[in-house]
Amino acid sequence: MDLALTEPQEMLKATARAFLERECPRQLLLELDRTETGMSPELWGKLARMGWLGLAIPAEYGGEGAGLLDTAVVYEQLGRGPLGGPHFSSAVLGALVVLECGTEDQRREVLPRVASGEQILALAYTEPDYGWGPESVKLTARRDGPDYILEGVKLFVHDGAAATHLLWVARTGQGPDPASGLTVFLVDRAEPGVAVRTLPGFMAGLCEVRFEAVRVPRRAVLGEAGTAWLGLSRAFLRAIPVLCAYKVGATEAVFELAVNYSQTRVQFGQPIGRFQRVQDHIIDIVNHLDAARWTTYEAIWKLETERPAAASVHLAKAVASEGFYRACNSCHEVHAGIGVVRNYGLVLYTRASRSLYNYLGDPRFHKRRLADALGL
């Protein structure tokens, strides 16, 4: 197993880091964090021109055709920002759902627009009975002649406020197997009856999406009705390591914040980094960072080389989510009171660690899936 980056990937990493440092200074990220979408039109256009909105999209559908590892390399650097906004929701998760669930005609219609930034996707999957397994989807789509009627509420939808189109998951059939009967609908957010509300609170970018008797035609169904779970599960499996790479980059930035502060903050006549308890907190961050990095890139290596990867993906998600969360806690211990001062910037990482902790499944969910994958 070789987890080293190639020379072109090292160049891509350097380019992505330089872009973040040049285009996304801390003050801009703090300002974007106050907006509903987390992204400015100017910055979104720059991401599109860099080709980063098409990394996960094959070249025949207007994307860059980059491998999963190349995509993760860029997203690790975006996490260092941390750059918010719908880039992962649309250009990775949303694009992979369309790629795995849609027909050939739907891929050719939708994916080039996603790669160009013209169309922004958000997956409306989770409901008040929160969960990422197929059993958690309770809402049903009612057939009315040639159309479907969609009604109900999706909660904690990431980047719903920025989306132009929603990937609404509902049941069009019932059976003993909860994985059967799931259907993905591609719905224009401007359709009558669609309402999106940003949820207040400490976590960022989460929305409530409410459908009130939204009528959609048969062509809004991605692929074949009732068979979406297989495609969704494949999309999740490939999207999760990219999200983990984003968390790795964010955890690395948190580590650097803690180290820099411990070297410059003087107390009792010496830098606080000389105190053992401060060192303990920094060592905790290092341990979480290393664990998240190597489990993430092992999962990506297995996917890239077409090895059985489910167990490694579930392990990476559990480790990266827990690691990013706990690294932020340890960094606050190092900083004490100044860590909660918004302009300092640490709060951006803390908010992200809480928002992304449950995204695509929390550590407990993935530990159970890991046990299933190992046959335990």
Q: For 128-276, list the strands marked E by DSSP.
A: 141-144, 147-158, 165-171, 182-188, 194-198, 206-217, 266-267, 270-271
Q: Model-level pTM?
A: 0.96
pLDDT single digits (tens) 201-259:
778 889 999 999 999 999 999 999 999 999 999 999 999 999 999 999 999 999 999 99
CATH number of 7-120: 1.10.540.10
Question: Residue 331: CB partners within 8 Å, gap ≥ 6?
Answer: 254, 255, 257, 258, 281, 285, 339, 346, 349
Distance from C-alpha of 214 to C-alpha of 194, rounded to nearest angstrom: 7
The CATH code for residues 230-373 is 1.20.140.10
pLDDT computed for residue 1 by the predictor:
74
Per-residue pLDDT band at 376 (split at 50, 70, 90) = confident
Topology at the third CATH level for domain 122-228: Butyryl-CoA Dehydrogenase, subunit A; domain 2 (2.40.110)
* φ/ψ of residue 217, rounded to 5: -80, 170
Domain ranges of the chain: 7-120, 122-228, 230-373
User: Residue 217 contacts by C-beta under 8 Å, 6 or more apart in sequence?
Assistant: 146, 147, 148
HSE-CB at 309 with a 13 A cutoff on CA atoms is: 24
Helix intervals (H) in the chain: 7-23, 26-33, 41-50, 68-80, 87-88, 95-101, 104-116, 228-264, 276-304, 310-335, 346-355, 363-373
37-70 burial string, b = 16+ CB within 10 Å, else e? bbbeeebbeebbebebbbbbbbeebbbbebebbb
Q: How is the beta sheet containing 165-171 ordered, strand by strand? A: 121-124, 165-171, 182-188
Structure confidence by residue, pLDDT tens digits, 311-338:
999 999 999 999 999 999 999 999 998 9
Residue 304 — φ and ψ, nearest 5°? -65, -35
Counting residues of the chain whose pLDDT is more than 70, the rounded percentage is 100
Mean pLDDT of the chain: 96
pLDDT (tens digit per residue) in 258-310: 999 999 999 999 999 999 999 999 999 999 999 999 999 999 999 999 999 99
